[in-house]
Structure 1
Amino acid sequence: MASRTPIGRLRRAVLAALVGTAVVVPMAGAARPAAVPAPPPVSLGPLRAATCTTDVAARFAANRDGVLAAERTAAGHGDRRRAAALRALADPARGLLSFDGRDGGRSAEVFGDLCRAERIAVLVPGSDTSFEQYGRLRDGAQALLQRLGDRSAVVAWLGYPTPSMLSFSVLTPRRAEAAAPTLRAFVDEVAAARPAARLSVLCHSYGSVVCASAAEGLPASDIVLYGSPGTGVDEVAALRTTAAVWAGRGAEDLIGRVPHVRLRLPFVTVGFGTDPTSPGFGARLFAAGDSAHSDYLRPGSVSLDSIAAIVAGDSRA
């Protein structure tokens, strides 16, 4: 019964912080580097269904120019690691729907042909994702696209300053709440560009808190939560979404050891509440096999097969 008292809840919140650090330190290695200066992004026109191919090509070209300008600024600032990451991002073979190099950096990279896709997945990453630590997000997007096959597109949406697992911000919903309008606007734009496509939003770790904050009115068929510490609500109904909400957690994901509590303090809320894979939350569960916290989109994994089936509309609760 002690855990139900305010002191007990506080102890569990502190335990969540300690366990969360134990989960992430081996994976992230280091906190996200400090932001470096970058020019403001170029002004981009809207994506329209009638001119989707032309609009996307124009964005790719404009954003590549923006990346190269940010690379030059980073190099001049002496941040060689950021400059190298931006040079890789400026590869002509890559396609950015959006880019902003300021305040740590934002981008949305497309894999596949967005304008011909019948199914589109938007990946929303969790903590410690940046241009310098972008490999897992990109690898996951490519693996999912390969598993989905033709007439599919995957967008890696790095549209917010993800929290570091070595900071207090990863324990609160503030960054997620700030990111939600941006995610909602982006998904609205993708849906408008390809209205006939089946659209799913895939939310990893802290990204599931972002998706929960953006869920109301989101034009998606599915919202998929995996490796989630919680969402900030106690049940699916509180998300106020028409999308099917799915949840899964791998057997080797240490996030399962984090207590699912939410403690409201005078100036901040700590923790994210109910486990999305618990019966009381009400999500549709999918098989995640033995996935560890960063392995849900690993080629050949049970979790990748399950998530691909959801995106394709082939899965059943």
Structure 2
Amino acid sequence: MRLGDAKKTDGRAGRLLRALLAVLVVAAVVVPLVAAARPDIPAPAPAPALPLTAATLEKTYEANRANAELASKMARAHGDRHRAEADRRLAAPDRHLLSYDGRGEGRATEVFGDLAHAHRVAILVPGSDTTLDTYERFRAGADALHRRLTREAPAGTAVVAWLGYTTPGTISTTVLTPDRADEAAPALRDLVAGLRALTGPDTGLSVLCHSYGTVVCARAADGLDADDLVLLASPGTGADTAAGLDTRARVWAARGADDWIADVPHTSAHLFGTTIGFGTDPVSPAFGARVFAAGDAGHSDYFTPGSVSLANLARIVLGESTEVTRVRHP
């Protein structure tokens, strides 16, 4: 490397470090104030978990709907109409909840389709700022994917929307570190293992991860019993290469042309005893993923009906790898 190039690299690293420190300082001041302004919302403890089998699915759905209905009443009595409405929607008779917890920011796992008889299953893992209060936005993407799958294959597909961890805020210290992902990874592994046991070894399981959710999936990848691992709008995974994820799954990656995540520095640094940033860009040739087209998608547009990205995601879930529109690096 020439001296001039080395100086440029050092300069970029210095600017990144200053930017990360600025975000940390702002988040350290702002986030605690925001959190303190929002009182805890009362909610019942989750319904007791039943073994995940075809025979117990309906009982599980019923128990979690009842829990969501009670949570809605408690939130309304507490004066939080927004959360009460979010809980009420989840308690509707047509909602199929594998799990539900209305406490705090909230968690939920919702099923679209006939899970017990599915031959192809997609598990969606959300990114930052996804809570019960914003859940409908996440759910809309899962619903759009299920509709697309049903159109392509009228029987035998299901989608599982997994809000199974406390996501970080977009403007926060936690979104810059893998801490939340480390906490979430065991639960994601358990979910996928449970789905594999329910649906059988021949069922295709695809885990579709968005934004910070790609960090969660990367942390869970070792031991994740999935056939495909899809990284959408990733800030990086913490791994230098797809092989470094140590997974048997096919690793895919995509980023839309209008996604602001492209401007996030794909690097990492060790500060204050923790890792800040997530390293190599998964859509770069150096990472080695199967990069596919996402059109002009913005950061929240990958599951938009009629989009290039949704069409390709459906092909991946259906096992139609040769039909996926790939992006060839020069």
1:156 — aligned with what?
A: 161
* Mean CA deviation greater in 241-250 or 100-109: 100-109
Distance verdict in 2 for CA 1:315–1:13, change over 3 Å: farther
1:310 — aligned with what?
A: 316
Q: Secondary structure at the match of 2:75?
A: helix
Q: How does 1:124-163 map to 2 (within 5 A)?
A: 124-149=125-150, 150=154, 151-163=156-168
Q: Is the contact between residue 306 and residue 315 of structure 1 (CA under 8 Å) also seen in structure 2?
A: no
Rg larger in structure:
2
- Quick one: distance in 2 between partners of 1:63 and 1:85? 14
1:182 — aligned with what?
A: 187
- Quick one: distance in 1 between partners of 2:300 and 2:193? 28
2:57 — aligned with what?
A: 56
1:290 — aligned with what?
A: 296
Q: Secondary structure at the match of 1:250?
A: coil
Distance verdict in 2 for CA 1:305–1:41, change over 3 Å: same
Distance verdict in 2 for CA 1:191–1:18, change over 3 Å: farther
Q: Is the contact between residue 102 and residue 132 of structure 2 (CA under 8 Å) also seen in structure 1?
A: no
- TM-score, normalization: structure 2? 0.87
Report which structure shows greater RCO (CA 8 Å, sep ≥6).
1
| Residues paired across the two proteins, number | 303
Identity of aligned residues (%): 53
- Quick one: distance in 1 between partners of 2:292 and 2:148? 17
Q: How does 1:36-55 map to 2 (within 5 A)?
A: 36-48=41-53, 52=54, 54-55=55-56
1:244 — aligned with what?
A: 250
Q: Secondary structure at the match of 1:68?
A: helix
2:101 — aligned with what?
A: 100
Cα displacement (A) at 1:36: 1.9
* Mean CA deviation greater in 33-42 or 174-183: 33-42
1:119 — aligned with what?
A: 120
Q: Secondary structure at the match of 1:264?
A: strand
1:186-226 deviation per Cα after TM superposition (whole angstroms, max 9, x unaligned): 11111111013210000000000000000011110000001
Matched residue type, 1:109:
E
Cα displacement (A) at 1:16: 6.3
Matched residue type, 1:292:
G
| 1:73 counterpart = 2:79 | no
Q: Secondary structure at the match of 1:247?
A: strand
Q: Is the contact between residue 13 and residue 271 of structure 1 (CA under 8 Å) also seen in structure 2?
A: no
Matched residue type, 1:56:
L
1:11 — aligned with what?
A: 15
Cα displacement (A) at 1:15: 3.7
2:31 — aligned with what?
A: none
1:31-69 deviation per Cα after TM superposition (whole angstroms, max 9, x unaligned): 996652322112122113xxx1x3110100110111112
- TM-score, normalization: structure 1? 0.90
Distance verdict in 2 for CA 1:35–1:203, change over 3 Å: farther
Structure 2 runs not aligned, ≥5 long: 1-5, 24-33
1:227-249 deviation per Cα after TM superposition (whole angstroms, max 9, x unaligned): 11111111112111000000000
| 1:227 counterpart = 2:233 | yes
Cα displacement (A) at 1:4: 4.4
| 1:278 counterpart = 2:284 | yes
Q: Secondary structure at the match of 1:293?
A: coil
Distance verdict in 2 for CA 1:55–1:269, change over 3 Å: same
Cα displacement (A) at 1:73: 2.1
Distance verdict in 2 for CA 1:127–1:35, change over 3 Å: farther
Distance verdict in 2 for CA 1:75–1:201, change over 3 Å: same
1:265-297 deviation per Cα after TM superposition (whole angstroms, max 9, x unaligned): 132211111000001111111111111110001
Q: Is the contact between residue 35 and residue 105 of structure 1 (CA under 8 Å) also seen in structure 2?
A: no
